[in-house]
Amino acid sequence: MQQGIGFGHVENDREAVSRRSSRVKLTNSSINSICGTIEGSQYVRSILIFTKENLSEDFTRSLLAKYTRLKVLDFGYARLTEVPENLGSLIHLKYLSFRGTSITRLPKSIGKLQNLETLDVRTGLKVEVPKEITKLRKLRYLLGNPISIAVKDSLGSITSLEKMHVLTDPDGVVIRHLAKLTKLRDLRVSNVKGDYANTLCSSINEMPLLERLHITLNYGPQEIDLHIRSSLSKLRMLHLRGNLKEFPNWILPLENLLKLSLGQSMLTNIPLISLGNMPNLLILSFGPTSFEGETLHFQNGGFQKLKELNLVHLHQLSSIFIERGALQSLEKLQIMNIPQLKAVPSGIQHLKKLQVLDILYMPTEFLQRIDPNGGEDYFMIKHVPHLHVARTNSDFL
């Protein structure tokens, strides 16, 4: 009986390829032998690289020449610096990842990968991507920061894109072209300058299919307005990081929003009552310096579906009040590095569904009040099944 195609990986030698494996994992022990065999290579559809050895350009060129029927090629975090021109021979490729590598350019032949759907160049370096990438009419996911004037000027022509993670350029060229990417469902934009905030908002207004939006503003004292007119009716996850002039009120009508995360927004006023009326909000995170006020007050009936609440690095916050009937579905609460908060949130004992309470890097007085051995507030949290307390050497951050 003929042996069928398997799902295996190379550990020590050529055996997995000769077994007609459809998936090959290259490890330290197999990296030198894999290019020495040809038997079974026509059956391989996926190669994943897991090695700390340096991958030479000759090795990579041989690998690409041999496994021409690949659909998945993942160099993630491999020691790779050069990508050979024969990358374009992998005409069946759908997924290509260079995440965590040290490459700085891609060859022009990438334009031949007409079946490519995902390109991941999240390397932490500037990667020169040739204008030929605009020929990839099936490209749906572009992850990373492709740096090329030609690509920036024609980015809007890749209209098939559904997911894009990009670092904006100083001239705002990328932001101006985003408006043409009307099929985007997942957009992550970093290093947005205040001068281009209006342009970004105008571009987002042209993206009715957005489900995930992550905006990181350029770090600095400048307050930035984010005015989005579109209803964004499909938006499920929103993360805003940066100094905001005011809380964006366009968030409140987002009926399908499941997760909202704010960081470094420096807000002195957050409309908790209106936020609490959002019908489907499950996760709410007030990250580092997102709120500069002294009090958070969760009123009766608010946040009925919320499952997780994270309060992190809020240096001015000194009191939290939870009325009976608020946060009734809450299962996880994280309180981390809030130096002015000396007591547990008033009313926390009413959160009967709370399963996990993380208390991290809080001041000594707070920790003393929740001490199981005589702490005056311990009775308020003793019903929580999973209590996690972590402290630094000084009990204070």
- pLDDT tens string 325-347: 999 999 999 999 999 999 999 99
Residue 358, both tokens: 């993380």
- Of 171, 136, 170, 249, give the one whose Cα is nearest residue 155: 136
CA distance 381 to 152: 53
Q: Looking at residue 150, what is its pLDDT?
A: 63
Coarse DSSP helix, strand, coil percentages of the chain, rounded to the nearest 5 percent: 20, 25, 55
Residue 362, both tokens: 């809080």
pLDDT band at 396 (very low <50, low <70, confident <90, very high): very low
Q: Which residues, at least 6 apart from 245, have a Cβ–Cβ distance to it below 8 Å?
A: 223, 224, 225
Residue 313, both tokens: 């690095």
Residue 5: burial class (beta carbons within 10 Å; 0-12, 13-18, 19+): middle
Q: Please report, for the chain, the start and end positions of each structural domain, with discontinuous segments joined by +.
A: 1-126, 265-397
The SS3 call for residue 87 is helix
Contact 106, 132 (CB under 8 A): no
pLDDT band at 147 (very low <50, low <70, confident <90, very high): low
Q: Looking at residue 394, what is its pLDDT?
A: 46
| Predicted structure pTM score | 0.88
When mean pLDDT is compared across 12-21, 137-146, 314-323, the lowest value belongs to 12-21
Q: Is the predicted pLDDT of residue 7 greater than 70, yes or no?
A: no
Q: What is the mean pLDDT of residues 340-356?
A: 97
- Of 9, 51, 47, give the one whose Cα is nearest residue 32: 51
Q: Looking at residue 195, what is its pLDDT?
A: 86
Place of tokens 């951050």: 397
- pLDDT tens string 320-330: 999 999 999 99
Neighbours of 371 (CB within 10 A): 12
47 to each of 21, 103, 105, 118, 205, how far by Cα in Å?
10, 18, 21, 15, 39
Spell out the CATH class of 1-126.
alpha beta
- pLDDT tens string 194-228: 888 999 999 999 999 999 999 999 877 778 889 89
When mean pLDDT is compared across 23-37, 111-125, 189-203, 213-227, the lowest value belongs to 23-37
Q: Which amino acid is at 93?
A: L
Residue 357: burial class (beta carbons within 10 Å; 0-12, 13-18, 19+): buried
- pLDDT tens string 256-304: 999 999 999 999 999 999 999 999 999 999 999 999 999 999 999 999 9
Residue 281: burial class (beta carbons within 10 Å; 0-12, 13-18, 19+): buried
Q: Which residues, at least 6 apart from 8, have a Cβ–Cβ distance to it below 8 Å?
A: 16, 19, 21, 23, 24
CA distance 134 to 105: 16
Q: Is the predicted pLDDT of residue 32 greater than 80, yes or no?
A: no
The angle formed by the CA atoms of residues 230, 234 and 238, to the nearest 5 degrees, is 80
Q: Looking at residue 167, what is its pLDDT?
A: 80
Q: Looking at residue 1, what is its pLDDT?
A: 31
Q: Looking at residue 8, what is its pLDDT?
A: 35
257 to each of 19, 21, 277, 278, how far by Cα in Å?
48, 42, 12, 8
Residue 258, both tokens: 């499941």
| Beta strands at 54-55 and 237-241: parallel, antiparallel or unpaired | unpaired
